């Protein structure tokens, strides 16, 4: 869907607004008539008083059940292809029928589509890819385009471009790329706004740069890569902490502190950046002038994340104050696992140093899979650290997990 918000998604939006403290300002009737979840996907931070688990039953993007049932007992944390594929399939087999009726063009689902495409590559089972293909065809291969140039609305272009590029060059279907390319063509000639960064929040580095880099691959025109490169480093200059080697979510957090006095760095926000780095490095030519800068930033962030990994193998939603959060946060942890496993596979990161990191994080994530395949401990839509239920499951976190599983499968296949 584009401008139409499904009833189930409205219920999820209602819960998200309640969590963010806005419900006192809106009547239910006005809310249901006017809500657009895209406006709170990058919402202002909630106050401390409202940072608590809120039920989101029926939300298109996910929910947090009071009784999700028992945890899975049929999975193995062995780093072997068969065991990893079993975990990927268990989660994907639960997620697709659970979420497909609510498939839409929002950034939340764009990350899931990335994961489903990766799951098919890892397992050889095309039904996950087919689910993405069905939705893409139903959507006429178009992006949301009513608040250009917002990066969230361009995130679906990654899946469109992957499906376009997957065909042999002579048989590629132009319709799969046409709308995405048209929007990227408008983007690369857009003048910079001196008063506001294009990608002013770090999540955007996962949403838009990989789309530009894939349009470059499809066309061979460096203007897409050059524009992406310029904007990446403008955002990095504003939000990357050169001492902690982590990204602030946006400029509002530059001076905020955690309860223990440490700087406030959000797990999923940094997960988005690590995922974005992977997708840019996958497509950027080896001789591109600034590629070494991306590799260096990737290495710096990976080293920092490895140094603050918790004993259970995962990371909390507030990275530098883990004791303040009872539960690990699986969406950020999933993207960290995805990125570090990729770094090992591509010989960017030292295998001896980083293999134990992803072995622990993979095992940790498996401990949050329920018997039916639900992946829990995923923070709901937010822009800062927060608390949530053990059963909380949201499609973007599942997308990160499936991509992590694909890289872990690749790692295991090279090892055994």
Annotation marks residue 203 as catalytic: yes
pTM for the full predicted model: 0.88
The residue from 63, 152, 203, 250 that is catalytic is 203
In the chain, the number of structural domains is 1
Asked whether residue 2 is assigned to any structural domain, the reply reads no
Count Cα atoms within 13 angstroms, Cβ side, for 17. Answer: 22
**Sign of dihedral through CA atoms 121, 122, 126, 127?**
negative
Asked whether residue 1 is assigned to any structural domain, the reply reads no
Any long-range contacts for 256-262 (C-beta under 8 Å, 24+ apart)?
Answer: 258/318, 258/320, 258/321, 258/324, 258/385, 259/321, 259/324, 260/320, 260/321, 260/323, 260/324, 262/320, 262/321
Asked whether residue 32 is assigned to any structural domain, the reply reads yes
Asked whether residue 19 is assigned to any structural domain, the reply reads yes
Count Cα atoms within 13 angstroms, Cβ side, for 87. Answer: 31
Asked whether residue 139 is assigned to any structural domain, the reply reads yes
Asked whether residue 39 is assigned to any structural domain, the reply reads yes
CATH number reported for the structural domain that contains residue 64 in this entry: 1.50.10.10
pLDDT tens for the chain, 416 residues: list them.
333 333 333 334 333 333 333 333 333 333 333 334 453 444 434 333 323 333 232 347 999 999 999 999 999 999 999 999 999 999 999 999 999 999 999 999 999 999 999 999 999 999 999 999 999 999 999 999 999 999 999 999 999 999 999 999 999 999 999 999 999 999 999 999 999 999 999 999 999 999 999 999 999 999 999 999 999 999 999 999 999 999 999 999 999 999 999 999 999 999 999 999 999 999 999 999 999 999 999 999 999 999 999 999 999 999 999 999 999 999 999 999 999 999 999 999 999 999 999 999 999 999 999 999 999 999 999 999 999 999 999 999 999 999 999 999 999 998 43
Q: Which domain holds residue 115?
A: 7-415
């Amino acid at each position: 869907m584009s401008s139409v918000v499904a009833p189930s998604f409205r219920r999820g939006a209602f819960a998200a607004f309640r969590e963010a403290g806005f419900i006192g300002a809106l009547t239910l009737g006005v809310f249901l008539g006017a809500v657009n979840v895209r406006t709170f996907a990058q919402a202002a931070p909630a106050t401390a008083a409202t940072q608590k688990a809120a039920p989101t039953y029926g939300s298109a993007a996910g929910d947090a059940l009071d009784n999700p049932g028992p945890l899975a007992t049929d999975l193995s944390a062995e780093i072997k292809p068969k065991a990893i594929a079993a975990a990927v399939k268990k989660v994907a087999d639960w997620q697709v029928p659970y979420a497909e009726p609510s498939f839409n063009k929002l950034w939340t689902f764009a990350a899931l589509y990335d994961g489903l495409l990766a799951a098919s590559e890892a397992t050889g089972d095309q039904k996950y890819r087919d689910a993405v293909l069905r939705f893409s065809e139903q959507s006429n291969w178009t992006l949301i385009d009513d608040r250009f140039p917002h990066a969230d609305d361009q995130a679906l272009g990654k899946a469109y471009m992957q499906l376009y590029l997957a065909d042999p060059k002579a048989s590629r279907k132009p319709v799969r790329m046409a709308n995405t390319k048209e929007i990227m063509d408008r983007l690369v000639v857009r003048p910079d706004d001196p008063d506001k960064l294009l990608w002013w929040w770090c999540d955007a580095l996962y949403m838009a740069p990989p789309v530009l880099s894939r349009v470059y691959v499809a066309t061979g025109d460096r203007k897409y890569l050059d524009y992406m490169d310029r904007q990446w480093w403008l955002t990095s200059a504003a939000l990357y902490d050169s001492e902690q080697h982590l990204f602030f979510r946006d400029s509002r957090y530059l001076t905020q502190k955690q309860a223990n006095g440490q700087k406030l760095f959000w797990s999923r926000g940094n997960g988005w950046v690590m995922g974005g780095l992977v997708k840019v490095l996958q497509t950027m030519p080896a001789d591109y002038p600034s590629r070494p800068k991306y590799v260096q930033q990737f290495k710096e962030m990976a080293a920092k994340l490895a140094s603050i990994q918790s004993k259970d193998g995962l990371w909390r939603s507030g990275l530098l104050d883990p004791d303040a959060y009872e539960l690990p946060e699986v969406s950020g942890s999933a993207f960290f696992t995805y990125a570090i496993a990729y770094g090992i596979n591509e010989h960017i990161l030292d295998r001896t140093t980083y293999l134990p990191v992803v072995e622990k994080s993979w095992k940790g994530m498996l401990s949050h899979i329920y018997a039916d395949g639900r992946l829990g401990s995923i923070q709901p839509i937010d822009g800062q650290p927060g608390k949530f239920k053990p059963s909380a499951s949201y499609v973007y976190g599942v997308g990160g997990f499936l991509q992590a599983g694909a890289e872990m499968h690749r790692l295991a296949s090279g090892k055994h």
